[in-house]
A and B are shown apart, each in its own frame.
Chain A
Amino acid sequence: MRGLEGYCLGIESTADDFGVGIASFDGEILANVNDVYVPERGGIHPREASRHHTIVAGRVIAEALNRAGLKPREISVIAFSQGPGLGPCLRVGATAARALAAYLNKPLVGVNHCVAHIEIGKMVSGARDPVTLYVSGGNTIVAAFEARRYRVFGETLDIAVGNCLDVFAREAGLRPRADKPLGAIVEELASRGKSFIQLPYTVKGMDLSFSGLLTAAINLLREGKYPLEDICFSFQETAFSMLTEVTERALAHTEKPEVLLTGGVAANKRLQDMLRVMCEEHGARFCVVPKEYATDNGAMIAWTGVLCYKHGLTIPIERSHVKLKWRLDEVEVPWVEQ
């Protein structure tokens, strides 16, 4: 373990968010600034998103330092999201991090984005050894710590649940607003739904598949026979029941004491309710990560950067290439004790 004095600046840029966070070595978040790329229409275009990141990078970094009340020289470590994610987007964050590390002559840490979601979630919720359900636009993972790593107990076999929700919402003609992402709009419509329509429910052991559900839901939209509220309701109920079922299996299998919900989709109240009910039946504590730290953010990279740095996990610039498909379970996490 190295000394406890210092600050880590973390850069997140795996997808549509460009975020910069600053964490002190003893776990205080001093800044968490984010700028999100909102496409005019359709989903995230990697090149367009990376262009956005390039434009805002300097300003977001400056603003984070400003909020933390720190000068660049006072930063002791630079961390960045090294993967998994969209190549062009990852490279913007990596380039900015390398430049800072080289210019300031500070060590560089490459952080796994999925590990960071779990670590910040544990820190802000006080969970110690949870089964984590990480649900976002790009990831759907049920994981728990076991023998040096976060093991993946279940995951999507095709698309992520957040992606499934977004594509469905766009097909339904819904438009995101800056203050209201598509998921929130679907959630609101679903809360007014009354009758349940059967849709494909695909759980294989602890793995999930959402592509059949998406196709069937889009077909329902096109048929035009049912109110949109009912389709949203049925769609959400089906997708979230699948997630809760695999989380329950992982919980029963691992006998862990807690469930941690994180990722962009964690903001959904219905999903929270389902997991809470399931946890009560198992006598497990249920923790939800607050929105600021559940969606992609720089603070999680900064905090995980601190953990990595304390365990000597720095990387030289020439070996800091981004890893587009870097799996959660490839990473050893020496700071977690069994």
Chain B
Amino acid sequence: MLIKRGAEASIYLEEWCGRKVIFKRRHPKKYRVAELDRALQIRRTKHEPQMIHKAKEAGVPTPIIFLVDLEEATIIMEFVEGKQIKQILNDLPSEDRVRLCREIGRLVGKLHKSGIIHGDLTTSNMILTPSGRIVFVDFGLSEQSVDLEARGVDLHLMRRALASTHYKYADECFNAVIDGYREIMGDEITKDVINKIREIERRGRYIVGR
């Protein structure tokens, strides 16, 4: 069953070997020559599970990868039961909301500390499981970097996502994210990253809300 069709890939929810799983299939692009398109599909289909694995090593919960089918440019992975943070964040009592955001900040800090940039930190790419864990999904735009610029952009995207879908609590949430981030990254780097975010926003390159 198709649950999401993006520019790059489609996401299906399927039964597979008696489990509920996610199929992520990358589309071929007609505008590219076949050899190039194929090479890119294979590279990206390989890259994403590698990044998901690195995130696990960094202590960030991510879906279990069951199979990587390069032929079909498809990744078969665990369907994470739970709710998207996006769906629940606005309805939580303030205290819980702050606690959750602080944990998200810690997880982002763990990614960044291990040189992983998620690339698409929105509250729809984070799932809260019934046992209370937060699982990060969709590493399709992730990259390895320890650059301040990349970290700044990553967190700026988080802030933008909060501002557009959780505008009432955006500041409270983002401050909590930064608090959690600071616990992992320390004062100095966090200060640099915050300054970087300000600079990025001043550039007007990325605009809040849509």
Contacts and interface: CB of A to CB of B under 8 A. Distances in A.
Interface string A163-204: 000000000000000000000000000000000101001001
A269 B195 CA distance: 44
Interface in B1-44: 6-8, 29-33, 35-37, 39-40
Interface string B142-182: 01000000000100000000000000000000000000000
Contacts of B32: 237, 241, 244, 274
Contacts of A249: 7-8
Contact of A252 (B6, B35, B119): B6
Interface in B165-210: 203-205, 207, 210
Given A204-B143, A238-B36, A152 B205 contact: yes
Contacts of B88: none
B141 interface: yes
14 contacts: A196-B36, A198-B35, A201-B40, A205-B119, A205-B141, A205-B153, A238-B36, A241-B31, A249-B7, A277-B30, A278-B31, A329-B203, A329-B204, A330-B204
Interface string B112-127: 0000000100000000
A74 interface: no
Contacts, number: 56
Interface residues of A, number: 28
B170 to A, nearest CB: 17
Contacts of B207: 146-147, 151
Nearest to B141: A205
Contact of B39 (A198, A273, A278, A329): A198
Nearest to B206: A151
B33 A237 contact: yes
A281 interface: yes
Given A274-B31, A281-B30, 10 more contacts: A201-B39, A201-B40, A204-B143, A205-B141, A241-B36, A244-B29, A248-B7, A252-B7, A273-B31, A329-B205
A327 B204 CA distance: 10
A146 B119 CA distance: 22
B208 to A, nearest CB: 9
A165 B35 CA distance: 21
A277 B32 CA distance: 10
A205 B141 CA distance: 6
A277 B153 CA distance: 31
Interface in A245-261: 245, 248-249, 251-252
A241 B29 CA distance: 10
Given A205-B119, A205-B141, A330-B204, A275 B7 contact: no
A291 interface: no
A107 B29 CA distance: 50
A261 to B, nearest CB: 13
Contacts of B40: 201
Interface of B: 6-8, 29-33, 35-37, 39-40, 119, 141, 143, 153, 203-205, 207, 210
A118 to B, nearest CB: 16
Interface in A32-91: none
Contact of B31 (A204, A205, A275): A275
Max count, chain A CB within 10 A of own CB: residue among B7, B8, B33: B7
Interface in A120-162: 146-147, 149, 151-152
Contact of A196 (B8, B35, B205): B35
A274 B37 CA distance: 13
A150 to B, nearest CB: 10
Contacts of B29: 241, 244-245, 278
Contacts of B6: 252
Q: Which 4 A-B pairs have the closest CB atoms?
A: A252-B7, A274-B31, A277-B31, A196-B35
A212 B141 CA distance: 20
Contacts of B119: 205
Nearest to B8: A249
A2 B181 CA distance: 53
Contacts of A204: 143
Contact of A244 (B31, B35, B203, B204): B31
Nearest to A195: B35
A149 B203 CA distance: 12
Given A205-B141, A248-B7, A252-B7, A196 B33 contact: yes
B115 to A, nearest CB: 15
A278 B76 CA distance: 27
A196 B32 CA distance: 11
